[in-house]
Structure 1
Amino acid sequence: MIRPFQRLRILSASCMLSASLFALAGCASAPPAQIAVDPVSTPVWVNDMARFEAEDAANPPPAAPIVFTGSSSVRMWDSLASDFPGKPVLNRGFGGSQVRDAVHYADQIAVRYQPRMIVLYSGDNDINAGRSPQQVLSDFRAFVARIRQALPRTPIAYLAIKPSPSRIDQLPRQQQANALLRQEAARLEHVEFIDVATPMLGADGQPRAELFIEDRLHMSRAGYELWRGVVAPYLD
């Protein structure tokens, strides 16, 4: 069966900001007024945006990449290129970020690259910071709306909020958020919910310890190998 993503090709879309504005990596481009989203979680993301700008200058990114963005589970995925050989992947993760941060920095982390696909992992830190599953859903809707303004048909994939031993007390709220996000993706065109969370649980319903490093939060190589196997069929 051919997945929807496999049938999609890139549609060029004009960017709302000039190239000179993109050079100002330290400035978050506020979402348009009609997209309601809370302020960024912290101003430190300006450093990450500057880092991306420097990386782009030193090593120009591939044309029409598959952009992976979101929090530390993406930022620490340093084997991304070797895990998806032949795919023009680009890592634009910024550790500790929340979904609302991806909305504010959508231009810098995704839109300007005119990607063929965007893969987002976020929500983990949101729940940990006390945001509700409903707030995560609302912020995800804002992210999709922001991307759609510039890239109307670019596929967006959301990676489910992962369970982890260090945040096991948050598992019910993570699962509630995942259920809401799955339902949301199902009703949207060119949006997929990729369930990387369920296979990370053992038969006892607890996170599998071998998938994590010593901090019991971030993933080991085994964790990324699991993600690779789940995510690969969705990449165009």
Structure 2
Amino acid sequence: MKNKNNCGLLWIILLVLCSLNIAAQPFAEDIRAFKKQDSIAFPPKQAILFVGSSSFTNWKDVQNYFPQFTIVNRGFGGSSISDVIRYADDIIFPYQPKQIVIYCGENDLAASDTVTGKMVYQRFVQLFTLIRNKMPGVPVAFISLKPSPSRWQLKDKMIAANDLVKKYLRKKKKTSFIDVYHKMLAADGTPLKEIFIQDNLHMNAKGYAIWKKIIAPYLKK
């Protein structure tokens, strides 16, 4: 009887530890929300997958910007490239997209002063390699890190990351580097303030209109 009780207690402890481990994973709630959406209505295969951080999360009406394409938006706010890698089996591969469009890397730089543009680039290479190994024929597009007034102090690191990713993708087949950075600058070289909401980090409709014009030619029909 004692052994049975001990086994039962160990089983309960294991369940609790597993639950705590899941809860401790960053962005676990966001991933659960995506899975719940998928359980109700799974997105069509061969759509264009947008994956990355809050610039995609907040683009809730992205489908309206590109009505001629089928868009699946799996941006989750605050995420870094490492987070996208961590959840690739949940937010990339199940959808069997015909193209993957990535916007991520800003939060990597904002998270710590020790993160460099080169480190963002290296993380992107890791993500790109993961995608290529699983989906060798799927085109991949990377949207450049954007200039934001609230993160203007990171501009040199952002430029470095953008340049490294651009040079890297130039040598890879079925890839695109989409430069939104320069079109978001005013004549004096600083970010256009009128395209951001009050936090000076996330874009308003004017900002997304700029993105639409730049991104549309790169999307695969």
TM-score band w.r.t. shorter chain: 0.7 to 0.9
Equivalent residues of 1:133, 1:174 under 8 A apart? yes
The structure that has the greater radius of gyration is 2
1:145 lines up with 2:129 in the alignment: yes
Distance 2:29 2:175 in 1: 29
CA RMSD, Structure 1 to Structure 2 (Å): 1.6
* Equivalent residue number for residue 46 of structure 1: 28
* Equivalent residue number for residue 148 of structure 2: 164
Paired positions, count: 198
Give the aligned residue type for 1:204: D
1:62 lines up with 2:44 in the alignment: yes
Name the SS of the counterpart of 2:156 in structure 1.
helix
* Equivalent residue number for residue 155 of structure 1: 139
Name the SS of the counterpart of 2:102 in structure 1.
strand
Higher relative contact order, chain-length normalized (CA < 8 Å, sep 6+):
1
Deviations 1:138-184 (A, max 9, x none): 11111111111210010010000000001111111111111111111
Unpaired runs of 5+ residues, structure 1, are 1-25, 29-41
Equivalent residues of 1:27, 1:46 under 8 A apart? no
Match of 1:223 among 179, 194, 207: 207
Distance 1:58 1:102 in 2: 23
* Equivalent residue number for residue 198 of structure 2: 214
* Equivalent residue number for residue 97 of structure 1: 79
Distance 1:138 1:189 in 2: 18
Give the aligned residue type for 1:84: F
Q: Once the 2 structures are TM-superposed, how far is the Cα of residue 59 of structure 1 from its aligned partner?
A: 2.2
Distance 1:65 1:27 in 2: 33
Q: Percent identity?
A: 38
Equivalent residues of 1:182, 1:193 under 8 A apart? yes
Distance 1:200 1:27 in 2: 41
Match of 2:111 among 122, 129, 143: 129
* Structure 1 segments (4+ residues) deviating >4 Å: none
Cα distance change on mapping 1:27 and 1:112 into 2, 3 Å: farther
Distance 2:142 2:21 in 1: 25
Name the SS of the counterpart of 1:192 in structure 2.
strand
Unpaired runs of 5+ residues, structure 2, are 1-19
* Equivalent residue number for residue 157 of structure 2: 173
Give the aligned residue type for 2:212: R
Q: Once the 2 structures are TM-superposed, how far is the Cα of residue 58 of structure 1 from its aligned partner?
A: 1.5
Name the SS of the counterpart of 1:63 in structure 2.
coil
Give the aligned residue type for 1:81: Q
Q: Once the 2 structures are TM-superposed, how far is the Cα of residue 27 of structure 1 from its aligned partner?
A: 8.9
Q: Once the 2 structures are TM-superposed, how far is the Cα of residue 215 of structure 1 from its aligned partner?
A: 0.3
1:232 lines up with 2:213 in the alignment: no
